[in-house]
Structure 1
């Protein structure tokens, strides 16, 4: 337990350190790029209204009080639209649209009422439109085309200057389109960054799940075999020393093989062998006093199928030895050109939920080790086989016994029947 806690602490510390290292080096410069322009970046553009303000000061706009009120209303609505478009609480509501509609009404009113420099407020209206998320995309393009065309026409009609009319129309369209494009680009970058982080977290979780399944499958079966062999040594030692020594030698061999598998698992090169697992299953069941029959029919299997079925044999036999209280176990492997089917059947009580009878549980047989029905081993195997296009079913076999059935798709091959 102490070694397990130390190892877990080192692993979590390494994960945290790696996460801080990988994120810390890449996130800080990325945030400066992905942050994008904020709401205050659009306020200096209000200086385009200095010409209109100058007209008010010099009395060239007719009624200065009305012109001043119009300028104040435009600036206030412009700031309201921009701030609402960048507000996390308001940007996805209808408030920016209502404020933009009011801004458009004020823009048309002051441009038609005063003319001249006041038409420069149309590009500002277009820029404010580009900040509103609700109309980005196709609605924004239609709106900008209509707005720029109208602004150019009104400017030419009011002042009779064709080049000024073209400049107002072109500036109106370009300011809104560039604003929307830039903001959409930064929104996309932010979404990609969030997706990348989510994928990284998902990859870490999948790797931890894979490691936990491998650890369970490796050590659970091995320790069960060691316990069964040790019990056999204890029973045989008083009356048959040679048999007890043979069981002790098996314990040594199982331990050495487990060390090899753990080293290979850590290195990432572990490959399961179905034939090896069948031999180990026969040895484990014999040591537990369970009669075993192994049958295999079909062509050679691909390495991935061999590895997956090897895990099924390991887990199924471990459950039989630990939980079932069975006296007989049959393992059948049948493959054809398309699929392979593995069946493990025993005549015991199946997995048990506790050592005593309870509601919904099964009474543990004498000598069975309590465990969860359909524990983490079978759940993990179900996930593994599902990822490879296979299935895993487990449950009672008729009136007595327990059956585990695994099916996997395989490639075509020459059939070769063997009996083990």
Structure 2
């Protein structure tokens, strides 16, 4: 994952350091060029060819050091080793101004290695070798070149490693922001599915009841119409809460709603509740299961009886919704149950849905009470992650 973020950050960052930022340092080689032009150097053609080869290798290594896919390859290390060997050969033969090529070697080592144990294994032998050659060729007066080589190696490695870390952090922040947005979209789509699916089912059931009752009992039909208005207003409130991400549901309220919608659909509701009081977020998560299960029973099951049982202990709570109908129709849980399964799993629980032991359809949800707080992020709080 770290390598992926590094490659992503470096491929997108147009404002970070590049290989071009190290090319101006080649001006330090003008001293060696001046030594050749002055005619003081022995075998000037050999020295000129060596200097040209040095510049070529330096540019090649530096440019590859800023390409993540090429930096750690064998070719880059072979080129770096060749560059170092050539520099030592030229410094030993010519000395003087040619010793200024050593700090350039430090730049290439820092750009390629950048940190860790490998930097120590590379930098310290390099500095030690530079010290031996420099003091042997030019005495202690050139010790500044040794120091310059050490500083150029360490500072380059530190700056580039810090830049790489900053780019990784930027890429990580962008990835977290994108993940938060995706979670919020998922939360919103799930809430709308659960809210609208249930609400529209209730409206349809009560509208059918009002149509059946109107010819023979106008008051009862008007009561159903009033219920439709109430459900519609409640749905508007819940949708607003879902949009803001602060919707919490009550298990007791959802059980009452389930009784009402099941009764209106001609399904006998049987509700049993036992065990210790539930933590609010556990109850809220179970209320989603009750709502989805009751909606599925009304829309798909064709059942005449639906049992809802809530029970458990101080450690675990169990909700079972069983009807005597024909199931979901396809035999495969729909998107609502699949979404609920993910929510329950995120809270540390399990949700199973399928045919009951005596026919019909059964939904069973179990949650660990002590981990109920984990349901917070799954119950519509993903919007808060955008502020992190």
TM-score tier by shorter-chain length is: 0.7 to 0.9
Unaligned residue ranges in structure 2 (runs of 5+): 1-11, 372-388
| Matched residue, 1:250 | 227
Distance in 2, Cα, partners of 1:269 & 1:136: 46
Normalising to structure 2: TM-score of the pair? 0.88
Q: In the alignment, is the contact (CA less than 8 A) between 2:323 and 2:360 conserved in 1?
A: yes
Q: Greater relative contact order: 1 or 2 (C-alpha under 8 angstroms, separation 6 or more)?
A: 2
Q: What's the secondary structure of 1:90's corresponding residue?
A: helix
**Aligned equivalents of 1:264 and 1:47: distance in 2?**
66
Equivalence for 1:381: 340
Distance (Å, rounded) in 2 between the aligned partners of 1:43 and 1:300 = 71
**CA distance, structure 2, for counterparts of residue 90 and residue 266 of structure 1:** 47
Contact 2:188 2:243 in 1 (8 A): no
The answer to whether structure 1 residue 91 and structure 2 residue 68 are counterparts is: no
Counterpart among 185, 192, 195 of residue 218 in structure 1: 195
Structure 2 Cα separation of the partners of residues 269 and 126 of structure 1:
57
Match of 1:394, SS? strand
The question of whether the paired residues in 2 share the 8 Å contact of 1:236 and 1:244 is answered with yes
1:177: Cα distance to partner?
1.1
Aligned to 1:51: 31
In structure 1, what is the Cα distance between the partners aligned to 2:220 and 2:47?
109
3-state SS, counterpart of residue 174 of structure 2: helix
Over 3 Å counting, the alpha-carbon distance change for 1:411 and 1:116 in structure 2 is closer
CA distance in 2, matches of 1:199, 1:139: 31
Kindly indicate whether residue 117 of structure 2 is the aligned counterpart of residue 138 of structure 1: yes
Superposition deviation, residue 244 in structure 1? 2.2
Instruction: Tell me which residue corresponds to 2:379.
Output: none
Question: 1:86-144 CA deviation, whole Å, 9 max, x = no partner?
Answer: 245533432221211111121111111111221111111111111115x7421122211
How far apart, CA to CA, are the structure 2 residues paired with 1:411 and 1:193?
36
Cα distance in 1 for residues equivalent to 2:17 and 2:39 = 37
- The alpha-carbon deviation at position 399 of structure 1 amounts to 4.6
1:331 aligned counterpart, secondary structure: strand
Match of 1:279 in 2: 256
Asked if structure 2 preserves the Cα contact closer than 8 Å seen for 1:144 and 1:172, the reply is: no
| Equivalent residues in 2 for 1:1-400, closer than 5 Å | 35-87=15-67, 90-133=70-113, 136-159=115-138, 161-164=139-142, 166-353=143-330, 373-400=332-359
| Bigger fraction of residues in helix | 2
Spell out, residue by residue over 1:345-386, the C-alpha distance to the aligned partner (whole angstroms, 9 max, x if none).
011111123xxxxxxxx6xxxxxxxxxx31221111112112
Change (3 A) 1:36 1:263: closer
2:251 touches 2:283 (CA, 8 Å); kept in 1? yes
1:281/1:317 contact within 8 Å kept: yes
User: 1:239 is paired with a residue of what secondary structure?
Assistant: coil
CA distance in 1, matches of 2:261, 2:125: 81
RMSD (Å) for aligned C-alpha atoms: 1.9
Query: Which deviates more from structure 2 when the two are superposed, residues 259-268 or residues 344-353?
Result: 259-268
CA distance in 2 between counterparts of 1:151 and 1:267 reads: 65
Structure 1, unaligned runs of 5 or more: 1-30, 354-361, 363-372, 413-420
Cα pair 2:297 2:323 within 8 Å, conserved: yes
Deviation at 1:49, TM superposition (A): 1.5
Aligned-pair distance for 1:286?
0.6
Q: Indicate how the Cα distance of structure 1 residues 212 and 174 shifts in structure 2: closer, same or farther if over 3 A, else same.
A: same
Offset of residue 205 of structure 1:
0.5
Change (3 A) 1:267 1:104: closer
**How much has 1:257 moved relative to structure 2?**
1.9
